[in-house]
Structure 1
Amino acid sequence: MLKPAYLAPDERHLLARFWRSASGFWRGPQAWRAWLLAVLLVATMLLQLVTQYGLNFWNRDFFNAIGRKDGAELVAQALRFIPLAAASLSLTVLSVWARMTMQRTWRAWLSNHLYDYWLDNDRYTRLRFVIGDHEAPEFRIAEDARLATDLPVDLALGLLNSLLTVITFIGVLWSVGDSLAIQIDGVSLIVPGYLVIAVIAYSLLLSATTILIASHLTRVMQENKRAEAELRTIGTHLRESGEGLAQPDLRKSGRHTIGAALKAVIAIWRIYCWQLMRLTLVTYTSLLVTPVIGLLLCLPKYLAGTMTLGEVVQAAAAFVVVQSAFNWFTENYAKLAEWASSANRVASLLLALDAVDASGPASDHDSSGAAHGSNEPPRIAGQTSGADQPTTSSSPVSRR
């Protein structure tokens, strides 16, 4: 009897299923620890922002002293820099500890939840009877669950920091840059807050370009993970075949099978490389050009004598900081794609395990296997019968 066709759920459904399980870390009896770490991270971020704000004004005063060739003021500014640098360093180290502690504890919680759900009620042996995307469950729990909990912490903190940075430094750009007078055909045009307008327009252009050239990155990364997991699974089969734990016929076709799997991995990796090359073209161009744009925008007022050297450096630094904050989406697009692909793979496994329970108790499948004369023992994690031997397939992802 033919199995019904498997229709993959859409990404919104997958992410909702992932969050339904992963959010238990923030709702359980031990959730107060997670929230305490979150409060510590936000407090550290706010203090880092205050320090960065102080360093921005230190830049102004230091370069103003250089412009005046004031040796005594330069010494005073050098001494003022020491506590600012020490505070910034201490807060950065503290934020690394708090962030990695949160990631570690969330991963441990989700991994234990997934292992329990996979192994309880004999689901790990009944999973093969379910149609769906659930190959290499052990890899999904070990690797994809790690990425699916590590990256949200980085992304959420980065987004919050970007929002707070914009709120803080947009005022610096507005006050230091003030307005710019432009002469067009003898008509004087005053542009208020021209540095703010410029940084918003520049950031929107970069974000739109990123979306345009990297729209397929999530799908490519998900296909890459699938191919890598299949290669690992086939390698496990070959090792078990050598140990006498798998079907003898696997030894004969093993080299051909793993060669085809490796070929599929290399093919999708080539497409992944192409996608990252295009994304890097945008991000690295922004990294090189943004500081120069900030300086060039300040030059007219500096040459006109309405802006000091220190204010030029301060405004240019604030321009880079605000642009980087506005450009959070562009700089983190690859991370967003990687998180979505990992969360989707974990969610696909969860949906398959949900379907195992929906299909009936374990005894039903055991009796079904006996009725068909199967003498195959139940599988353990990482062990697959010859009948379930994975086969490689050409990647459905095309380079675009």
Structure 2
Amino acid sequence: MDRDPLNSKPSQHNESFIKSTFSILLPYWQSEERIFAWITAALLIFLSLLAVATALVVNEWYRYFYDAIQEGDIKQFYLLILTFIGVVIFSVFRSVLIAYLVDILALRWRRWLTNHYLLLWTLDPAQTCQTGNEVDNPDQRIAEDINKFTFETLDLACGLIFTAASVISFSIVLISASGDAVLMGITIPCYMFLAAITYAFIGTLISQKIGFKLISLSNKQQRLEADLRYFLIRLREKFRTPPPLLKYEPEKNNINQKLEGSLANFRKIIQIKMRLSLFTETYGQLALILSSLLAAPRFFAGHMTFGDLMQINSAFGNLSENLSWFINAYSRLADWKATTDRLITFNKAMRNSPAGAPKHPQPSSPDTGLSVDIH
């Protein structure tokens, strides 16, 4: 029986998704590791904003570089090449540092959260049985879902911060650089900016229509894979029993049924992801052509230099790409939502239990003997 939130009645889940997610997020950030967590998070925010500043520098570089080509300024050309190499080296180190900090913070968050839920889950044998009856595969939720949740939450959050800052920054650039357009006697101010907003809005609606089923299918896939592992473990245990007690056929049938169910669901996921990828790739390529088509009339009319044209194309591409962050990250967001739903169900099952509700143990407690050390 599927007991996940996506298939449950709304009356059984009165808390909103955001509130339930915060009930999983907050304990670590209020724990004994909160100083390390918040300092690392602040560094990640700073580095994400620094990435936006670097993108703005590169956008401005486009204007000077292509103007130097147009004017035949060889000295300026090579100086700008050296400048670009320096920016690239700086960007590489910044990207590596962000990836390192995300991994380290996710690792420590996973260790803390695993110990936290492991302790809650094993406080009382009755709690373990009750939780196992209310949610499917609680062991998988501790072993795998926490790992996915911690890393994806941090990585997606960094991407979202970068995207929000980029949208604001490149909107200002595009508004100031694109100028006005006249269409059928009507003056359209900041037309490149309006075009980028419209293009991204239409793309987001289409991607949502194509991929909205991914969340429920991803949730179901995780459950089916966990059920398959459960029956494989049962089969392995039967191999350890005396030969007269061995009965493989029922177990093999169960495994085959679970495998076929998992593969059938995964085929649906593949089909949706294929359609979504086809759209996102087409969407990204068309953005390059669209910006050139929109900016070219003002360039040929002599209202801008070649460098201005390339800067506007770069700003348009950055803005449309960042406005389309939801489109490009849709598959990952669907997987994250499915994983979070499973943890929310697990969290509620333990907190609603008489054994688990009133207690708030610390995972590092020396009396429990339960601790997971992740290196």
Q: C-alpha separation between the residues in 2 aligned to 1:169 and 1:143?
A: 38
**So what's the TM-score if we normalise by structure 2?**
0.87
CA contact (8 A) 1:237 1:246 kept: no
Q: C-alpha separation between the residues in 2 aligned to 1:91 and 1:128?
A: 43
What is the one-letter code of the residue matched to 1:81? F
What is the one-letter code of the residue matched to 1:29? E
Of 301, 306, 316, the residue aligned with 1:304 is 301
- Give the drift of 1:38: 0.9
Q: Which has the higher mean CA deviation after the structures are superposed, 267-276 or 345-354? A: 345-354
**So what's the TM-score if we normalise by structure 1?**
0.81
Q: C-alpha separation between the residues in 2 aligned to 1:35 and 1:159?
A: 18
What is the one-letter code of the residue matched to 2:188? V
Q: Which residue of 2 aligns with 1:284?
A: 281
SS state of the match for residue 120, structure 1? coil
CA contact (8 A) 1:170 1:196 kept: yes
Q: C-alpha separation between the residues in 1 aligned to 2:356 and 2:40?
A: 40
Is there any run of 5+ residues in structure 2 with no aligned partner, and where?
A: 1-6, 358-375
Q: Which residue of 1 aligns with 2:74?
A: 71
What is the one-letter code of the residue matched to 1:110? L
Of 99, 103, 119, the residue aligned with 2:102 is 99
CA contact (8 A) 2:131 2:349 kept: no
Q: Which residue of 2 aligns with 1:40?
A: 43
1:138 aligns with 2:146: no
Structure-2 change in CA distance of 1:193 and 1:231 (3 Å)? same
Q: Which residue of 1 aligns with 2:181?
A: 180
Q: C-alpha separation between the residues in 1 aligned to 2:244 and 2:33?
A: 46
1:271 aligns with 2:268: yes
Q: Which residue of 1 aligns with 2:164?
A: 163
SS state of the match for residue 107, structure 1? helix
Q: Which residue of 2 aligns with 1:216?
A: 213
Identity of aligned residues (%): 27
Q: Deviations over 1:253-308 (max 9, x none)?
A: 11111111111011101111122122212211122111111111111111111121
Q: Which has the higher mean CA deviation after the structures are superposed, 237-246 or 325-334? A: 237-246
What is the one-letter code of the residue matched to 2:166? T
1:344-359 pair list within 5 angstroms:
344-357=341-354
SS state of the match for residue 190, structure 1? strand
CA contact (8 A) 2:173 2:315 kept: yes
SS state of the match for residue 65, structure 1? helix
1:29 aligns with 2:26: no
CA contact (8 A) 1:126 1:356 kept: no
CA contact (8 A) 1:295 1:316 kept: yes
Structure-2 change in CA distance of 1:212 and 1:108 (3 Å)? same
Q: C-alpha separation between the residues in 1 aligned to 2:95 and 2:14?
A: 35
SS state of the match for residue 357, structure 1? coil
CA contact (8 A) 1:235 1:258 kept: yes
Q: Deviations over 1:305-360 (max 9, x none)?
A: 11211111111111111111111211122122111111111222223333443699
1:197 aligns with 2:194: yes
1:237 aligns with 2:234: yes
Q: Deviations over 1:34-90 (max 9, x none)?
A: 100011011112222222111111111111111122222211211222322222122
What is the one-letter code of the residue matched to 1:352? A
Q: Deviations over 1:152-177 (max 9, x none)?
A: 11222111111111111112111221
SS state of the match for residue 187, structure 2? strand
1:110 aligns with 2:107: no
- Give the drift of 1:129: 7.3
The root-mean-square deviation of aligned C-alpha atoms, in Å, is 2.4
Structure-2 change in CA distance of 1:121 and 1:303 (3 Å)? same
Q: C-alpha separation between the residues in 2 aligned to 1:22 and 1:141?
A: 15
CA contact (8 A) 1:123 1:356 kept: no
Structure-2 change in CA distance of 1:18 and 1:302 (3 Å)? closer
Is there any run of 5+ residues in structure 1 with no aligned partner, and where?
A: 1-5, 361-400
Q: C-alpha separation between the residues in 1 aligned to 2:147 and 2:137?
A: 15
1:316-327 pair list within 5 angstroms:
316-327=313-324
Q: C-alpha separation between the residues in 2 aligned to 1:72 and 1:358?
A: 75
- Give the drift of 1:128: 6.9
Q: C-alpha separation between the residues in 1 aligned to 2:324 and 2:212?
A: 16
CA contact (8 A) 1:238 1:254 kept: yes
What is the one-letter code of the residue matched to 1:231? L
1:333 aligns with 2:334: no
1:19 aligns with 2:22: yes
CA contact (8 A) 2:124 2:355 kept: no
CA contact (8 A) 1:14 1:348 kept: no
Q: C-alpha separation between the residues in 2 aligned to 1:11 and 1:202?
A: 36
CA contact (8 A) 1:61 1:310 kept: yes
SS state of the match for residue 347, structure 2? helix
Q: C-alpha separation between the residues in 1 aligned to 2:128 and 2:248?
A: 23
CA contact (8 A) 1:238 1:250 kept: no
Q: C-alpha separation between the residues in 1 aligned to 2:297 and 2:243?
A: 75
